Amino acid sequence: MYLIFDTETTGLPKSWNAPITDTDNWPRCIQIAWQLHDNMGNVLEHNNFLLQPDGFNIPYDAEQIHGISTDLAQEQGIPLKECLVSFNEVLEKTTFIVGQNVNFDLNIMGCEFHRLGISNSLNKLPVLDTCTEHTAQLCKIPGGRGGKFKLPTLTELHNHLFGVNFGEAHNATADVEATTRCFLELIRLREFSKEKLDVDENYFKNFSEANPKPIQVLGLKHINLKKESEKIRKRLAALKENETTSNTSAGLSQLENIQFAHLHNHTQFSVLQSTIQIGNIVKAAAKDNMSAIALTDTGNMMASFHFVSAILKHNKQAFAKNEISEENGETPTETILKPILGCEFNVCEDHLDKKRKDNGYQIVLLAKTKKGYHNLAKMSSIAFINGFYYVPRIDRKIIEQYKEDVIVLTGNTYGEVPNKILNVGEKQAEEALIWWKQQFGDDLYIELMRHNQEDERIVNETLLKFAKNS
């Protein structure tokens, strides 16, 4: 018998090679679906569960893929233990585990079994995968590694075998139905060997007689999870309408006489990220009456001398014009700028590890003093000399060593805290924020990005919640 299953999760692992006992590495399962078929392809049973998040939330970016929100899973899901008991029962009935790129799902569920200490036969059963070099040769899609054909996605394999795509991709029930159809069709076409299936030569003849035409869709009803999540979101939003919120106009009036200083800027020295010339950024800051302007190029501080020189030149001219205005009894109008030197560093787990690609998180550091500037320069040098692997990198140990007289910002959506809010979970994001708070104390500042993007809105709401709790 064949058990075809698929999962939807809270994201992707940090390391694909980590053991299932590494519970911090493997994301959580929030949906599982399976079908059990006999040797002739007849369906014996099928099931589908949403799982209630317990001690974690479903990150925004994961929800964008499969549509399962934390609220939906809490309302319509079942406890993990209940699901694992049912899954264990069907595991006892099957001969093979089947899936599309199934190793990921095996690790996800294996880790869930490990978390609850439930024994199982999941990783003892033989595996049949529909995503292999053999199916790559079958589909012949260019773009693989080393000049080979690329491994087909489920949609690509389904399209090759049946000439049509399938709907509701990244819904576990739909993915299982499509995987099942592809798998059984591959058997019908004798693309699996008798050794792989552990059958005799008559098996393929009997299977073809039982399935003389291309395998048809089972016809299960798939719930549109994104629409279900949206219904709950609208209902909860309606309940919040009566909550007290700050009036935007009142808030802006309080800031009327406060000068703004832009503390996160990239110039032409951030190659492929910015084309802003240093002279222009100084002129723009002065025109907008900013009190200061920071330079935070990516990984390097090569523009520091040019940046400070440009601001000193501007200030000299501004002082002279203001003196003339005062001598004439006029109000000075020229803005005096304070230059702030900084750098946006790529902070990875181990800057000396060059066996795997890890660009890390983008963290903005600013110098408070001359010593702080020297510390930033040291970190930038280390990033290029010792840590360069795809990008210049440092790690937390380097930051601990050179953090004196340095200010840290949480950064954009690629910063550690915002990125973990979007991709890992609020619990892990808050733990990261606490680490930065422990290192920098009052020199840690939460950075809010507002470009009218939904992901930034989600991040900002959570960051403000963290700020109130800290």
Q: Reduced to 3 states, what is the DSSP secondary structure of residue 291? A: coil
CA 181, 183, 187 angle in degrees (round to 5)? 115
Least confident of 112-116, 144-148, 433-437: 144-148
Pairing label, strands 29-37, 2-9: antiparallel
Q: Reduced to 3 states, what is the DSSP secondary structure of residue 391? A: strand
pLDDT in tens, 22-31: 999 999 999 9
One-letter identity of residue 56 = F
Query: Is 216 exposed, middle or buried, given 0-12, 13-18 or 19+ CB atoms closer than 10 A?
Result: exposed
Mean pLDDT value across residues 227-250: 68
CA nearest to 448, candidates 465, 423, 431: 465
According to the CATH classification, is domain 259-277+284-303+339-469 in 3.30.1360.120?
no
CA nearest to 414, candidates 443, 455, 442: 455
At 147 the pLDDT is: 85
- Give exposure, 118-131, as e/b (b: 16+ Cβ within 10 Å): eebebeeeeebbbb
At 219 the pLDDT is: 75
Q: Is the pLDDT of residue 243 over 80?
A: no
Would you kindly state where each structural domain of the chain is located, as residue ranges?
2-236, 259-277+284-303+339-469
Mean pLDDT computed over every residue of the chain? 91
At 248 the pLDDT is: 64
Give the C-alpha distances (Å, rounded to integers) separating 42 from 35, 38, 136, 207, 216.
10, 5, 27, 11, 11
Beta strands per DSSP E along 18-133:
29-37, 43-50, 96-99, 127-129
**Residues contacting residue 221 through CB under 8 Å, at least 6 positions apart:** none
Coarse DSSP helix, strand, coil percentages of the chain, rounded to the nearest 5 percent: 45, 15, 40
Longest dimension (CA), the chain: 105
The CATH code for residues 2-236 is 3.30.420.10
Distance from C-alpha of 140 to C-alpha of 194, rounded to nearest angstrom: 23
Give the confidence band of 423 by pLDDT, cuts at 50, 70, 90. Answer: very high
Query: Is 201 exposed, middle or buried, given 0-12, 13-18 or 19+ CB atoms closer than 10 A?
Result: exposed
pLDDT in tens, 33-43: 999 999 999 99
Pairing label, strands 29-37, 43-50: antiparallel
pLDDT in tens, 153-195: 999 999 999 998 876 556 888 899 999 999 999 999 999 998 9
Give the C-alpha distances (Å, rounded to integers) separating 370 from 375, 396, 406.
9, 22, 10
pLDDT in tens, 199-218: 998 999 999 999 999 998 88
pLDDT in tens, 298-327: 999 999 999 999 999 999 999 999 999 988
Q: Is the pLDDT of residue 295 over 90?
A: yes
- Give exposure, 157-176, as e/b (b: 16+ Cβ within 10 Å): bbebbbeeebebebbbbbbb
Beta strands per DSSP E along 51-151:
96-99, 127-129
Q: Is the pLDDT of residue 460 over 60?
A: yes
At 127 the pLDDT is: 95
Q: Is the pLDDT of residue 224 over 90?
A: no
At 169 the pLDDT is: 58
Q: Which residue has the tokens 């930051």?
A: 399
Mean pLDDT value across residues 228-244: 70
One-letter identity of residue 354 = K
Q: Reduced to 3 states, what is the DSSP secondary structure of residue 99? A: strand
